[in-house]
Amino acid sequence: MHSHPHVAPAPAEEALRGAELRVTAQRVAVYRALAMHPHSSADAVFGQVREAVPGIALPSVHNVLGDLVSANVVRRVSLPDSDRALYELAQPADNHHHVQCVVCGSVQDVECAVGHAPCLTPSQSHGMRVLEATVTFRAICSECERKSSSND
């Protein structure tokens, strides 16, 4: 629905081989689920892959997500108004942020305003080389805005 507009995801098998991961039905199913539904929790991914991979268990989905995150195929996204980690495909040289509705929790990608990482520079880096800065815009989506104005 709202994957990254600038880069189409690589086919699952190609992405897994590129990361030197063995291509398995479970990994392919999880990758494809995230390609179709970015910003999904492990529970949501499990719901999406259950039919494609009969017998898969929730702990297996957690393991696959962990493997894909470690291999930089998937990115773990922690947002302030989310009670669990969300996952999305990691795209090479992608530097985007997120906007999250504070009412319904829906999440969308937002292009980086600066265009390069890190988009923010701390006042003091403590001698560390800053790799990225994560920005989450907290907002109210148009649907929630419409619902609240119709309730007034």
Binding-site residue set: 101, 104, 141, 144
Residues within the annotated binding site for Zn(2+)?
Answer: 101, 104, 141, 144
Placement of tokens 């999440």 in the chain: 107
CA angle (43, 36, 42) in 5-degree steps: 15
Q: Are 88 and 61 in contact (CB under 8 A)?
A: no
**Phi-psi category of 131—alpha, beta or left, where left has phi over 0 and alpha has psi -120 to 50?**
alpha
Q: Contacts by 117-123 with C-beta closer than 8 Å and gap 24+?
A: 119/95
- Eight-class DSSP state of 40: B
